[in-house]
Amino acid sequence: MPRPIEALIHVDAVRHNLTRARAQSPDSRVWAVVKANAYGHGIERVFDALRGADGFALLDLAEAERLRALGWRGPIVLLEGCFEPRDLETCSRLNIAHVVHCEQQIDWLAAHKTHQPHHVFLKVNSGMNRLGFTGAAVRGAWARLNALPQVEEISLITHFSDADADRFGKNGIAHQMAAFNAATHDLPGERCLANSAATLRHLAEAGVRADWIRAGILLYGSSPDFPEHTAEQWGLQPAMTLRSKLIATQNLQPGDSVGYGSLFVAEQPMRIGVVACGYADGYPRVAPTGTPILVDGVRTRTVGRVSMDMLEVDLTPVPQAGIGSEVTLWGHGPQGSLLSIDEVARSAGTLGYELMCAVAPRVPVQVAGEPA
């Protein structure tokens, strides 16, 4: 028998979450963001659930080729654009739109021989200061692109750094919207604006016109602004369950410690369970004692340090648990129980994004509802 750990992908939840994105912004077209192998869920697994999107956004040409191989003929956009000139040939061949965020990418386009003019997304740096042309440089870049026979359509794209919270006295996206509008107000072209957090929190605000939104994390059922809002409060359903089983139990006496570094010491007699899941499966090693976890659908806590292949749990609230009991690291447990990936991530000092992307290749993945 293989190790009992597995990830389950809930494709119906992905379908539902796409519907949520649409309902949030009925007049926008929706890019389903499927970078990083659909945030760890598997492009091939979620493709059918996301067919209702208007296009797919990703970073890697190999992932774009996988979408074309699945039969997707609609729009695809590369969110970081091309990494070298010959990527443009693949874009021409597969009809892939791409971001243009720097002068060099325009140079490559100008030198590119194509029979199929490209749809480009001119990236405006409205304050994130990662990629894109600053306000003063946007018009020059637009004019250069507009003069190229290789370019058929120029859309405008920007990305928000603080759509999930109001920080530094700034109101979410307002300062970036002002910078974007100032740089682009008299340029034609579609506007591609909002990530999940902006889609859920800011699209109704004045001055925000999004012809396209870019839905990422919300499709996978994690809340972009947890703990201010839970996924449930946003009407999102978790798309991934990570589950395993107990492979041993131990009875501890006061003073007994658990695992490497003896980080947890029992204060009274207690029973613990040993779970077949560790950091080599993608569970965060930094998750401290007290990280929430379900055993037989009952909420309890981890104890001691997460090791490569195992972690330990307090069985006090689940006295009936034993070898073979089901353990839910996150997602759906037995009897309708649920543990949000966002809660686990928060305990480990990270985000649901990182946990879902980090599930290791050695973990078998099943589509929920499909026979094993």
Ligand X SMILES: *Cc1c(COP(=O)(O)O)cnc(C)c1O
220 is catalytic: no
- Computed from CA positions of residues 359, 363, 364, 366, in that sequence, does the dihedral angle turn out positive or negative? negative
Query: CB of residue 25 vs ligand X: minimum separation in angstroms?
Result: 13
172 vs 297, beta carbon nearer ligand X? 172
217, 344, 356, 363: residue in contact with ligand X (rule CB under 6 A) = 217
| Binders in 185-214 for ligand X, by CB under 6 A | 195-197, 214
Q: Find where tokens 């740089």 sit.
A: 183
CB atoms within 10 A of CB 72: 18
33 vs 348, beta carbon nearer ligand X? 33
Query: CB of residue 367 vs ligand X: minimum separation in angstroms?
Result: 22
40, 55, 81, 224: residue in contact with ligand X (rule CB under 6 A) = 224
Q: Which residues pair with 120 in a beta bridge?
A: 98, 154
8 vs 194, beta carbon nearer ligand X? 194
Cis preceding linkage at 227, omega within 30? yes
String marking each residue 78-107 x if it binds ligand X according to CB under 6 A: -x----------------------------
| Binders in 316-345 for ligand X, by CB under 6 A | none
Position 223 contacts ligand X (CB under 6 A): no
Query: CB of residue 312 vs ligand X: minimum separation in angstroms?
Result: 32
Query: CB of residue 224 vs ligand X: minimum separation in angstroms?
Result: 5
183 vs 217, beta carbon nearer ligand X? 217
User: Which span sits near ligand X by CB under 6 A: 11-19, 85-93, 215-223, 250-258?
Assistant: 215-223
Residue 134 in tokens: 């600053």
Position 33 contacts ligand X (CB under 6 A): yes
* C-alpha to C-alpha distance for 76 and 145, rounded to whole angstroms: 20
279 is catalytic: no
Query: CB of residue 300 vs ligand X: minimum separation in angstroms?
Result: 30
192 vs 274, beta carbon nearer ligand X? 192
Position 132 contacts ligand X (CB under 6 A): no
The single residue of 35, 39, 123, 353 carrying the catalytic annotation is 35
55, 132, 216, 304: residue in contact with ligand X (rule CB under 6 A) = 216
216 vs 221, beta carbon nearer ligand X? 216
16 vs 299, beta carbon nearer ligand X? 16
The single residue of 123, 245, 260, 283 carrying the catalytic annotation is 260
Write the secondary structure of the chain as one string of H (helix), E (strand) and C (coil): CCCCCEEEECHHHHHHHHHHHHHHCCCCEEEEECHHHHHCCCHHHHCHHHCCCCEEEECCHHHHHHHHHCCCCCCEEECCCCCCCCHHHHHHHHCCEEEECCHHHHHHHHCCCCCCCEEEEEEECCCCCCCCECHHHHHHHHHHHHCCCCEEEEEEECCCCCCCCCCCCCCCCHHHHHHHHHHHCCCCCCEEEECHHHHHHCCCCCCCCCCEEEECHHHHCCCCCCCCCCCCCCCCCCCEEEEEEEEEEEEECCCCEECHHHCEECCCCEEEEEECCCHHHCCCCCCCCCCEEEECCEEEEEECCCCCCCEEEECCCCCCCCCCCEEEEEEECHHHCEECHHHHHHHCCCCHHHHHHHCCCCCCEEECCCCC
Query: CB of residue 79 vs ligand X: minimum separation in angstroms?
Result: 4
Residues that bind ligand X (CB under 6 A): 33, 35, 79, 159, 195-197, 214-217, 224
Any idea which residues carry the catalytic annotation? 35, 260
